Structure 1
Amino acid sequence: MAEHNRSGQLAEEMAAQWLISKGYQLLEKNYRHGYAEIDLILTHKKLLVFVEVKFRSGTGFGYAEEFVDYTKRKLIIKAADHYIHEKNWKSDIRFDIVGVYRDRTGAINYRHFEDAFY
């Protein structure tokens, strides 16, 4: 497996644990529908939350939210729509982005963008 894939999987696991520590309940990881994948699906305060996780080793090339472009958002929304119908979800939903950042000292930091797109 390529290094960037390992880093991405580790970032998703860390983001999931971080969100769980904030009161979220994890339902799914790496949910796929067609070409689309949703990194994390959780519930929080009666919301169904679809989360895109982005890992960055620094911010020299930009922040996580800048790397979720129009095409990626459309794919996530399409997969989320499928999931909503599959599970017969009848309540509100939200799309979030979680940036996982490793600084120069190796410390991990998180940036959570709630309701990042729709």
Structure 2
Amino acid sequence: MKTFLSGPLSGTARDLIRRAGYGEIRGHGGEQLSYARRFSQDHYPRFHAYIEDRDGGIQINLHVDQKKASYEGTTAHSGEYEGPLVEQEMERIVTLIQSFGKPVSPPASTPPSDKKTKGFWS
């Protein structure tokens, strides 16, 4: 499942996806970066995302890896690219990233009181 979040955003694609709970993964050969978020302490199943900064926003390509690639030297695996699980996770990521850029409003101040305050020893 792919989605694009238009900017301006509060950080780079890498920073925002990591703040959403994803860990960085280096592909074979070390050239392609991707990000994963586990369901449990096991490596699989997991959410797997490819991201890129693009046109002032972020492109996210998300799927679920059900298991590791079956044959050495291949990248084929059991993956889900659509469905309720992927849709819910994409919604969670989008909501989090959009909330990161919102300014935090200061707490409401109370008017000063006429009551004199005493020091620690007085």
TM over 0.5: no
What TM-score, normalized by structure 1, do the two folds share? 0.33
What TM-score, normalized by structure 2, do the two folds share? 0.32
Q: Which has the higher helix share?
A: 1
Max Rg structure: 2
Q: Which has the higher strand share?
A: 1
